[in-house]
Amino acid sequence: MEIQFLGTGAGQPSKSRNVSSLALKLLDEINEVWLFDCGEGTQNRILETSIRPRKVSKIFITHLHGDHIFGLPGFLSSRAFQANEEQTDLEIYGPVGIKSFVLTSLRVSGSRLPYQIHFHEFDEGSLGKIMETDKFTVYAEALDHTIFCVGYRIMQKDLEGTLDADKLKAAGVPFGPLFGQVKNGQDVTLEDGTQIIAADYISAPRPGKVITILGDTRKTNASVRLAVNADVLVHESTYGKGDEKIARKHGHSTNMQAAEVAREAGAKRLLLNHISARFLSKDVSQLRKDAATIFDKVHVVKDLEEVEI
Residues making contact with Zn ion (CB under 5 A)? 65, 216
In the bound state with Zn ion, the residue whose beta carbon lies nearer, of 6 and 294, is 6
Q: What is the DSSP string of 256-283?
A: HHHHHHHHHHT-S-EEEE-B-TT--HHH
**Which among 25, 275, 19, 272 is positioned nearest to 154, based on CA atoms?**
25
| Cβ at position 65, least distance to Zn ion in Å | 4
> Are the C-beta atoms of residues 224 and 141 closer than 8 Å to each other?
no
In the bound state with Zn ion, the residue whose beta carbon lies nearer, of 40 and 216, is 216
| Cβ at position 239, least distance to Zn ion in Å | 13
| Cβ at position 100, least distance to Zn ion in Å | 18
In the bound state with Zn ion, the residue whose beta carbon lies nearer, of 216 and 260, is 216
Q: What is the DSSP string of 4-25?
A: EEEE-BSSS--SS--SSEEEEE
Q: What is the DSSP string of 107-132?
A: HHTT---SS-EEEEEE-GGG-EEEEE
> How far apart (Å, rounded) are the C-alpha atoms in residues 130 and 137?
8
- Catalytic residue of the set 67, 216, 243, 303: 67
Active site includes 303? no
In the bound state with Zn ion, the residue whose beta carbon lies nearer, of 65 and 153, is 65
| Cβ at position 63, least distance to Zn ion in Å | 6
- Phi and psi, residue 285, nearest 5°: -70, -30
Catalytic residues: 67
